[in-house]
């Protein structure tokens, strides 16, 4: 049993494992030591004799100037940094790093606090807001957003006003943070609204910083065009090659806005504005879907789900607030909150203004001139009776 072994023996064991990991990783760079992370094999400093914990629970000694909180486990120095052999110390340390032991630093303090929130059903508002200020400070210093994304530390509220702690990806922003219109769409996107009480509890500058922090860690504040499953594209079902064998060289790219059809059915100016802004921000490539089951076939290109849906629905408001399909709209008829911007070609892709274009005087004139040219050509080549 590992509990019965002396520190020197355990250090040799760690070093041998570290050396083995180095050799194996040269040929199979997959960090095979990760398969040991569920074992309590890390000996930590303890008043008891030889206590062992999971690697993720243990830390190397804290950086200078860092004061650790209570109940933090530190690896016993005599199992990785004692003795004369520098190579043994190096390999022992590497093994502990491979299985998940980390240096205790400012990030560790923040992470432990976030883990505390994961185990809370409720929180003290005063201490919670102090934590929020510390989280913002750390984010501003490091730009580390990944640390916060998977922890339930933000207060959200339901439509009825009930409060609870959520991950950033489970929340949306609206007033008093910024006017987005997302709160009225909670039944569609299935996210709770950020707790409005933060505005009263944080001073003006901190609240501004907090709003930017929320944007960066994944709280929803706008709609985004993103990759989508091509199987839901109505044009995909018309492809004769859709049932062909798919290989690793398969291409099946498509784009849409999550829950787009549900948003389009609402017919609200605020919702349409969210969609319009997402369309303007989207990349040019998002107008098209691409499919190829394998290298045997050419890439088939057709309208993305985004384009198909935005063509089909009457969702663009005119100056009076009435909704129209893109085909039937013109720049001059657009609602004041909908600036025309076709830099990415997506408004053209959804057929914006096509009806007016076909009926324009320029179109009629060109069509008339074309007919005259054709008639003159015919008269020059045909012998007419006297």
- pLDDT digits (tens), the chain, 386 positions: 788 889 999 999 999 999 998 888 887 777 677 788 899 999 998 877 789 999 999 999 887 777 777 788 999 999 999 888 899 999 999 999 999 999 898 999 999 999 999 988 888 999 999 999 999 999 999 999 999 999 999 999 988 878 899 999 999 999 999 999 999 999 999 999 999 999 999 999 999 999 999 999 999 999 999 999 998 999 988 776 666 788 888 888 999 999 999 999 999 999 999 999 999 999 999 999 999 888 888 889 999 999 999 999 999 999 999 999 999 999 999 999 999 999 999 999 999 999 988 877 666 666 667 677 767 767 766 555 54
pTM: 0.79
Domain ranges of the chain: 2-104, 108-217, 225-352
User: HEC states along the chain?
Assistant: CHHHCCHHHHHHHHHHHHHHHHHHHHHCCCCHHHHHCCCCCEEECCCCCCEEECHHHEEECCCCCCCCCCCCEEECHHHCCCCCCHHHHHHHHHHHHHCCCEECCHHHHHHHHHHHHHCCCCCCHHHHHHHHHHHHHHHHHHCCCHHHHCCCCEEEECCCCCEEEECHHHEECCCCCCCCCCHHHHHHHCCEEECCCHHHHCCHHHHHHHHHHHHHHCCECCCCEEECCHHHCCCHHHCCCCCCCCCCCCEEECEEECCHHHHHCCCCHHHHHHHHHHHHHCCHHHHEEEEECCCCCCCEEEECHHHHHHHHCCCEEECCCCEECHHHCCCCCECCCCCCCCCCCHHHHCCCCHHHHHHCHHHHHHHHHHHHHHHHHHHHHCCCCC
């Amino acid at each position: 049993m590992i509990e019965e072994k002396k520190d020197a023996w355990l250090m040799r064991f760690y070093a041998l494992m570290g050396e083995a990991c180095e050799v194996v990783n040269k040929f199979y760079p997959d960090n095979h030591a990760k398969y040991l992370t569920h074992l309590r094999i890390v000996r930590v400093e303890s008043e008891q004799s030889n206590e062992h914990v999971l690697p993720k629970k243990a830390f190397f000694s804290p950086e200078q100037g860092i004061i650790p909180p209570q109940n933090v486990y530190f690896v016993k120095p005599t199992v990785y940094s004692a003795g004369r052999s520098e190579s043994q110390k190096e390999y022992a340390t590497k093994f502990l790093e491979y299985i998940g032991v980390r240096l205790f630093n400012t990030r560790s303090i923040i992470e432990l606090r976030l883990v505390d929130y994961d185990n809370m059903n409720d929180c003290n508002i005063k201490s919670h807001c102090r934590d929020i200020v510390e989280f913002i400070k750390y984010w501003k210093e490091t730009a580390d957003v990944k640390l916060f994304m998977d922890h339930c530390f933000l207060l959200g509220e339901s439509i009825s006003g009930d409060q609870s702690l959520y991950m950033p990806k489970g929340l949306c922003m609206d007033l008093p943070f910024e006017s987005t219109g997302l709160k009225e769409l909670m039944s569609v996107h299935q996210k709770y609204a950020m707790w409005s009480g933060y505005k009263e509890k944080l001073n003006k500058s901190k609240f501004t910083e907090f709003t930017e922090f929320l944007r960066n860690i994944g709280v929803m504040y706008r709609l985004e065009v993103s990759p989508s499953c091509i199987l839901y594209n109505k044009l995909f079902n018309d492809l004769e090659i859709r049932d062909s064998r798919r290989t690793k060289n398969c291409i099946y790219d498509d784009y849409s806005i999550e829950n787009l059809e549900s948003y389009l059915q609402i017919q609200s100016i605020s919702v349409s504005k969210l969609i319009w802004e997402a369309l303007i921000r989207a990349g040019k490539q998002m107008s098209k879907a691409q499919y190829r089951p394998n290298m045997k076939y050419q890439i088939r290109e057709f309208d993305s789900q985004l384009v198909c849906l935005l063509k089909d629905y009457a969702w663009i408001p005119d100056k009076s607030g009435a909704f129209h399909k893109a085909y039937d709209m013109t720049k001059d008829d657009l609602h004041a909150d909908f600036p025309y911007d076709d830099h990415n070609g997506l408004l053209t892709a959804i057929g914006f203004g096509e009806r007016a274009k076909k009926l324009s005087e320029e179109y009629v004139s060109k069509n008339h001139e074309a007919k005259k040219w054709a008639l003159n050509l015919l008269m020059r080549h045909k012998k007419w009776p006297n």
